[in-house]
A = this chain, B = another copy of it.
Amino acid sequence: MEVRTPDPDPEPEGSASVPSAVGPGWLSDIELEQVRHRMPVLYVEAVPVRVDGLGQVTEVGLLLRANALGEITRTIVSGRVMYGETLRDALFRHLEKDLGPMAFPQLPASPVPFMVAEYFPIPGVSPYSDDRQHAVSLAYVVPVTGTCEPRQDALELTWMSPAEASAPQVAAELEGGRGALVRAALASVGVLP
C-alpha cells in the first residue's frame, strides 16, 4: 500500500494505470526507491499562469495540498519523466493529472525551460531540496486557458497576482524551496516585482 506523502511526483506507481508488475520502462515502488539513491531522477515542472490577450502573465496558479502530516503546503505541477516518454508527453500528463482534463494548457513551442532546478536530499547544496531523492527538474511557464479542477488530494488551485505569488509568506509555504522557482518563473516573463 502506498502512503500519500507530500510528494511532488504523486502518481501512484502501483496504481491501475501504471502497473507495478511491468516490463522495461516502468519501475516498481521498490525499484524506484532503490534507483532514487543511485541516479538523479529527471522531472518536469510547470508554473500554470493566466495570460491576457497580448500574452502578458496576469495570474499564477499554485496548488494547495495537505501533506501526510496534515500540514497545508503549496506546490506547482511536478512529476517524473518516464522511460521512453518525451518531455512534452510528461509535461502534458502531469498538467492533466494536477489540473484536470479541461485546463487546456498551451505547452511551450520551445523545449528550453526557464530554469533547471536541482533538488538534493540534503538542504543547502542548492536552493531546492527533496529528502526522497536527487531530482533535476526542467521547469516551464505554461498558460492555461480552460477550467482547472485539481484532483482529489489537492485541496484547490489558487490563482494569485504576480505580487502575491512572490510574497515571502507564499514562498515559505511552497515545498522544497519552490518559492525561488516561482519567483524565477515570474522574472522570466517580466512580471516579478
Interface residues of A (CB under 8 A from B): 24-27, 31, 35, 37-42, 49, 51, 53-57, 81-89, 91-92, 106-116, 118, 120, 125-127, 134, 136, 138, 141, 143, 180, 183-184, 187-190, 192-193
Specify how many copies of this chain sit in the oligomer: 4
Asked if A24 and B37 make an inter-chain contact with CB atoms under 8 angstroms apart, the answer reads yes
Q: Which residues of chain B come closer than 8 Å to A88, judged between CB atoms?
A: 54-56
With contact pairs A54-B92, A108-B55, A109-B141 given, residues A38 and B83 touching in the complex (Cβ less than 8 Å)? yes
Q: Which residues of chain B come closer than 8 Å to A85, judged between CB atoms?
A: 40
Question: Chain A: interface secondary structure?
Answer: loop
Asked if B38 and A27 make an inter-chain contact with CB atoms under 8 angstroms apart, the answer reads yes
Q: Which residues of chain B come closer than 8 Å to A81, judged between CB atoms?
A: 40, 136
Asked if B106 and A55 make an inter-chain contact with CB atoms under 8 angstroms apart, the answer reads yes
Asked if A120 and B57 make an inter-chain contact with CB atoms under 8 angstroms apart, the answer reads no
A83 to B122, CA, bound (A): 12
- B37, B82, B83, B107: which contacts A37 (Cβ < 8 A)? B83
Q: Can you give 7 A-B contacts (C-beta < 8 A)?
A: A40-B42, A51-B109, A55-B88, A55-B109, A84-B134, A110-B114, A112-B114
Given contacts A56-B109, A109-B189, A183-B187, 10 further A-B contacts (CB under 8 A): A24-B37, A24-B38, A27-B39, A39-B39, A40-B42, A40-B83, A87-B118, A111-B190, A115-B187, A184-B190
